[in-house]
Amino acid sequence: MKLTWVKWSAVPLAVLVSAAGAAVVRAQDASSSQSSASAPAAATDAEKKPTIAQRKENQQDRIANGVKSGQLTAGETANLEKKEAAINKETRTDRAANGGKLTGAEKAQINQQQNQMSKQIYADKHNANTAHYGNNKVGQRRENQQDRIAQGIKSGQLTAGETAKLEKQQQGINKQVAADRQANGGTLTASEKKQVNREQNQASRNIYRKKHNAQTQPGASKR
């Protein structure tokens, strides 16, 4: 009887051990999936590095934050986005030449370029140049346009190329305002204010069109 009891009790014990082991494995798999989805913590260097798309999105988020905060001027933003647009174009060309993929060398090259971009974004956001809008209608209109552009960058509705063009337009308006103020002892005449307002109306239409056309960043959400 004793031997029989040992024989039959060992079976469920083994089943329990097996089930427990399976549960642990499932828990580890679930934990790994959650970790990789939020912050990669894999053992290899390749798994720790962000993808090309993730790197691109991160750069755009940093630029958007700089535009929103005023750390990036229109001119700085236009320059940064022009460079980002060039990197994106190079990436598309490389993928088209390789059946939709990038070679190891091409990925390394793009990563080096994005490293340089990252340093440039940091330098531009922490230099002495900042966007000062002023407590007046002209300044408020300018700030509003920048906020709309920043939102478009953040949401992905504006591509790097589109943003570069919009910010170049804003840079031109800002230079004109600065020159007019300097010529008039720091103020704008009524006709100059009307001219600036007309130009911002045109810029506003451009922002709207570019935010609602078919061109978007990958994974963009229309908001």
Residue 119 lies in a domain: yes
Range of the domain at 126: 48-211
pLDDT at 50: 85
Residue 144 lies in a domain: yes
pLDDT at 125: 97
Strand residue runs (E) in 155-206: none
pLDDT at 220: 61
pLDDT at 4: 46
pLDDT at 134: 85
Domain count, the chain: 1
Residue 7 lies in a domain: no
Distances (CA, A) of 109 to 48, 58, 95, 116: 18, 18, 13, 11
Residue 219 lies in a domain: no
3-state secondary structure of 143: helix
pLDDT at 33: 40
Distance CA 134, CA 208 (A): 24
Q: What is the residue-level pLDDT of the chain in tens, covering all 223 positions?
A: 444 444 434 444 444 434 444 444 444 444 434 444 444 444 455 456 789 999 999 999 999 999 999 999 999 999 999 999 999 999 999 999 999 999 999 999 999 999 999 999 999 999 999 998 888 999 999 999 999 999 999 999 999 999 999 999 999 999 999 999 999 999 999 999 999 999 999 999 999 999 999 999 876 654 4
Distance CA 197, CA 54 (A): 38
pLDDT at 218: 75
Residue 76 lies in a domain: yes
Residue 60 lies in a domain: yes
Distance CA 164, CA 77 (A): 7
- With residues binned 3-state (H G I as helix, E B as strand, rest as coil), the percentages for the chain, rounded to 5, are 75, 0, 25
Q: Report how far Cα 209 is from the mean position of its chain's Cα atoms.
A: 20
**How many residues comprise the chain?**
223
CB 129 within 8 A of CB 187: no
